[in-house]
Chain A
Amino acid sequence: MAAEAKLSHTAAMILQAISVGYVYGFSIMEVTGLPSGTVYPAMRRLERDDLIRSQWERQSIADAEQRPPRKYYKLTTAGRTTLDASRKRYPLLERLMPTEEARSV
Chain B
Amino acid sequence: MKSPSDVAFSALQRTALHTASLLVPAAERQDWRCEWLSELWHVRSSYLRLDDTLSLQSQSEITWFCLGAFSDALCVRELATASGHPRSHMHGSAAQPLLWLAAILLLCFLITSLLPGVRAEREAAQFLVNPNALIISEAADHSWKPSIPAGLYLNWKYTHQRFFQDLAFYHVSRETAHAGSARILWNVARSSLNLFSLLGVPLKQAFDDNSGLPSVVLSNETWIRSFAGDPSVTGKVVRIGNSNARIAGVAPAAAWQLPGAPDVWLLQSDTQIATDLPYKTRGFLVAQLSERGLDAMQQSGDSISAHNLEDMLIDLSATPISAPVEGPWNLYGFALFLALVALPAVSSVSLGETQMTNHRISSREGLRRFCFLGGKFILVAGIGLFASFDIAYCYTASFSPAAECLQLVSCFAICLFGFRWALADQRHRCPVCLRRVTNPASVGLASRTFLGWNGTEMICMGGHTLLHVPALPTSWFSDQRWLYLDSSWQFLFADPGIY
CA A24 to CA B45, docked complex, whole Å: 14
Are A68 and B71 in contact, with the CB atoms below 8 A? Answer: no
Interface size on B, residues (CB 8 A): 23
Are B42 and A26 in contact, with the CB atoms below 8 A? Answer: yes
The reply on B43 being an interface residue by CB < 8 A is: yes
B-contacting residues, A15-62, CB 8 Å: 24-26, 29-30, 35-38, 40-41, 44-45, 48, 56
Are A40 and B72 in contact, with the CB atoms below 8 A? Answer: yes
- Taking CB atoms, residues of chain B closer than 8 Å to A40 are 35, 68-69, 72, 75
- Taking CB atoms, residues of chain A closer than 8 Å to B34 are 56, 68-69, 71
- Taking CB atoms, residues of chain A closer than 8 Å to B79 are 41, 44-45, 48
Our pick among A30, A35, A68 for the contact of B68 (Cβ within 8 Å) is: A35
* Shortest Cβ distance from residue B33 to the other chain A in the assembled complex, whole angstroms: 11
Are B39 and A48 in contact, with the CB atoms below 8 A? Answer: no
Closest to A70 in B: B38
> With A26-B39, A70-B38 known to touch, is A36 a contact of B75 (CB < 8 Å)?
no
Are A25 and B68 in contact, with the CB atoms below 8 A? Answer: no
- Taking CB atoms, residues of chain B closer than 8 Å to A88 are none
Are B42 and A24 in contact, with the CB atoms below 8 A? Answer: yes
Are A41 and B71 in contact, with the CB atoms below 8 A? Answer: yes
Are B75 and A41 in contact, with the CB atoms below 8 A? Answer: yes
CA A26 to CA B36, docked complex, whole Å: 10
CA A30 to CA B68, docked complex, whole Å: 14
CA A68 to CA B37, docked complex, whole Å: 8
The reply on A95 being an interface residue by CB < 8 A is: no
> With A24-B39, A26-B46, A68-B41 known to touch, is A36 a contact of B76 (CB < 8 Å)?
no
Our pick among A24, A44, A70 for the contact of B76 (Cβ within 8 Å) is: A44
Q: What 0/1 pattern do residues 39 to 68 of B give for CB contact below 8 A with A?
A: 101110110000000000000000011111
CA A38 to CA B68, docked complex, whole Å: 8
Our pick among A25, A37, A38, A45 for the contact of B39 (Cβ within 8 Å) is: A25
The reply on B488 being an interface residue by CB < 8 A is: no
Are B42 and A71 in contact, with the CB atoms below 8 A? Answer: no
The reply on A6 being an interface residue by CB < 8 A is: no
CA A48 to CA B28, docked complex, whole Å: 13
The reply on B83 being an interface residue by CB < 8 A is: yes
CA A68 to CA B43, docked complex, whole Å: 12
- Taking CB atoms, residues of chain B closer than 8 Å to A48 are 79, 83
* Shortest Cβ distance from residue B478 to the other chain A in the assembled complex, whole angstroms: 53
- Taking CB atoms, residues of chain B closer than 8 Å to A37 are 67-72, 75
A-contacting residues, B440-473, CB 8 Å: none
> With A24-B42, A48-B83 known to touch, is A41 a contact of B76 (CB < 8 Å)?
yes
> With A26-B43, A41-B71 known to touch, is A68 a contact of B38 (CB < 8 Å)?
yes
* Shortest Cβ distance from residue A37 to the other chain B in the assembled complex, whole angstroms: 3
* Shortest Cβ distance from residue B355 to the other chain A in the assembled complex, whole angstroms: 50
Closest to B83 in A: A48
CA A40 to CA B76, docked complex, whole Å: 9
* Shortest Cβ distance from residue A27 to the other chain B in the assembled complex, whole angstroms: 8
- Taking CB atoms, residues of chain A closer than 8 Å to B35 are 25, 40, 71
Closest to B70 in A: A37
> With A25-B35, A68-B38, A70-B42 known to touch, is A36 a contact of B72 (CB < 8 Å)?
yes
- Taking CB atoms, residues of chain A closer than 8 Å to B67 are 37
Our pick among B37, B38, B46, B68 for the contact of A36 (Cβ within 8 Å) is: B68
- Taking CB atoms, residues of chain A closer than 8 Å to B43 are 26
- Taking CB atoms, residues of chain B closer than 8 Å to A36 are 64-66, 68-69, 71-72
* Shortest Cβ distance from residue B54 to the other chain A in the assembled complex, whole angstroms: 16
CA A49 to CA B34, docked complex, whole Å: 22
Chain A CB within 10 A, most for which of B38, B41, B46? B38
A-contacting residues, B256-308, CB 8 Å: none
* Shortest Cβ distance from residue B146 to the other chain A in the assembled complex, whole angstroms: 76
- Taking CB atoms, residues of chain B closer than 8 Å to A24 are 39, 42
CA A56 to CA B83, docked complex, whole Å: 24
Closest to A62 in B: B38
CA A40 to CA B70, docked complex, whole Å: 11
- Taking CB atoms, residues of chain B closer than 8 Å to A68 are 34, 37-38, 41
- Taking CB atoms, residues of chain B closer than 8 Å to A103 are none
- Taking CB atoms, residues of chain A closer than 8 Å to B66 are 36
A-contacting residues, B1-55, CB 8 Å: 34-35, 37-39, 41-43, 45-46
Our pick among A44, A56, A71 for the contact of B75 (Cβ within 8 Å) is: A44
Closest to B82 in A: A48
> With A26-B46, A45-B79, A48-B79 known to touch, is A67 a contact of B68 (CB < 8 Å)?
no
CA A37 to CA B65, docked complex, whole Å: 8
> With A37-B70, A41-B71, A48-B83 known to touch, is A69 a contact of B76 (CB < 8 Å)?
no
5 closest A-B pairs by CB: A37-B71, A36-B68, A41-B75, A37-B68, A40-B72
12 sample A-B contacts, Cβ–Cβ < 8 Å, listed by A number: A29-B65, A35-B64, A36-B64, A36-B65, A36-B66, A40-B68, A41-B72, A41-B79, A44-B75, A44-B76, A67-B42, A70-B42
